Amino acid sequence: MPTAEPDPRRRVPRTDAVLADPVLDGATARWGRDRVKRAVVAAQQAAREGRIAPEEVAAAARAALPATATGIRAVLNASGVLLHTNLGRAPLSAAAVDALRVAAGTCDVELDLATGRRGPRGSGVLAALRDAVPGAGATWVANNGAAALALVCAALAGTGGEVVVSRGQLVEIGDGFRIPELIESTGARLRPVGTTNRTHLRDYADAVGPDTAFLLVVHPSNFVVSGFVSAVGVRELAGLGPPVVVDIGSGLLAPHPLLPDEPDAASTLAAGADLVTASGDKLLGGPQAGLLFGGGDRGTALVERVRRFPLARAVRVDKLTLAALEASVDGPPTPVREFLDADPAGLRDRAGALAAALAADGVDATALDTVAGVGGGGAPGVELPSAAVALPERYAAALRAGDPPVLGRIADGRCLLDLRALPSSSDAALAGAVRAVADRPVG
């Protein structure tokens, strides 16, 4: 039976017609045919179900494709947590991103162009790390902090040698992973000493014996213990004889005035540590990496032993990490460094300007003084004065679902967009993201 309007479901365009639509021009080159096809099929289904008009299929497919061929999306970090583990910890500097782009192609990561022969892999970043840390005789880079520590344990204690460590430092680092279990998984034997709150030099001294491989100090980087507590410093441990290995966690290379309790690589070596391990993507502000520093003749020789150990090959970093790490150590200040050093008055000015502009557009926005934190397993308890734009709480979910997504934090029934972990260059994008959801906040 003829109808005035043909059923729109019958008018859903065929896949090849959609793929040929100018709206999707270049899409297969950019995202790959399979990915584009999946988006088209989903859009056709939406048209069949009457959720979109048949004419909108190509545009809907285009809109469903991500910004790049990865599903990973850039998120504006307005949480006030400088190193947000769920957001990939440290954002890289523009210099590091440039370095990544160069290394992404074929590059001389392991070729000596002068001779045409194999060259030392990672020599640039290893030299940069040595230069940045006075007292480091040798350096090495593994996949992450946990890999660096596991490698040290496997290489120096993996055949049943004892790792002497305070019970107060047998910590869980996140996602259920625990330092003691990590150590034991390498074949090393754990020799816990002292108690949760107090460990003394004599506890270590009593435990040292022929089986001792090294004394380990783990910085409790994600919690603080206060009250009746006592721990032994690196300097005292260094006098006991066995090598001292210190996992400082955050990767500060030198002391930072705002983080007086955060250990740094240079001071830890100066205090007598033989080996220092650290992460690359925490306070150092670089890519995910595990750093290893050796101090003095013994520490330098230990780095050599560790990097020659077979497992070292299994936790070797790729050229992208080498490039981005070198640019982060040797290049301009990293974003994390700039967030740390940000002037609170400047943050307050930015929050005031943003709130005023949004309020002028009818958004219920005010500026607020806040307290930000380092996060990401570093500098627990450190409070960084900051400023935020405060919005009604329902904005939090709408902003996460927006484009670009924004992660704020909820406090006292309001959604706070904290500026401490955002460069000023993203203020316009932040305001745009708020405006885009202002008419239709969910929640």
Ligand X SMILES: *Cc1c(COP(=O)(O)O)cnc(C)c1O
The residues that touch ligand X, with contacts defined as CB under 6 A, are 144-146, 173, 218-219, 221, 247, 249, 279, 290, 377
Q: Is 286 in contact with 144 (CB distance < 8 Å)?
A: no
Pairing of strands 172-174, 111-112: unpaired
Nearest CB to ligand X, comparing residues 93 and 169: 169
Shortest Å, Cβ 221 to ligand X? 3
Longest dimension (CA), the chain: 97
Q: Is 176 in contact with 149 (CB distance < 8 Å)?
A: no
Nearest CB to ligand X, comparing residues 161 and 290: 290
Nearest CB to ligand X, comparing residues 172 and 297: 172
Shortest Å, Cβ 246 to ligand X? 9
Nearest CB to ligand X, comparing residues 285 and 402: 285
Strand partners, 293: 139, 276
Half-sphere exposure of 271 (CA within 13 A, CB side): 21
Shortest Å, Cβ 40 to ligand X? 40
DSSP state of 226: -
Shortest Å, Cβ 201 to ligand X? 21
CA distances from 288 to 89, 93, 157, 192, 249 (A): 8, 13, 25, 29, 12
Shortest Å, Cβ 61 to ligand X? 38
Nearest CB to ligand X, comparing residues 168 and 377: 377
Nearest CB to ligand X, comparing residues 135 and 249: 249
Nearest CB to ligand X, comparing residues 334 and 426: 334
Q: Please report the DSSP string for 76-100 in residue order.
A: EE-SSBSS-GGGTSSPPPHHHHHHH
Helix H or strand E segment including 301: helix 296-308
Phi, psi for 429 (deg, rounded to 5)? -65, -35
Nearest CB to ligand X, comparing residues 276 and 358: 276
Q: How far apart are CA 46 and CA 37, in angstroms?
A: 14
Residue 88 Rama label (left phi>0; alpha psi -120 to 50; beta): left
Nearest CB to ligand X, comparing residues 52 and 146: 146
Shortest Å, Cβ 269 to ligand X? 16
Shortest Å, Cβ 164 to ligand X? 17
Shortest Å, Cβ 182 to ligand X? 8
| C-alpha closest to that of 295 among 386, 342, 381, 234 | 234
Q: Is the peptide bond before 220 cis (omega within 30 degrees of 0)?
A: no
Instruction: Spell out the residues 6+ positions from residue 93 whose beta carbon is closer than 8 angstroms to its own.
Output: 285, 327, 328, 331, 332, 333, 334, 335
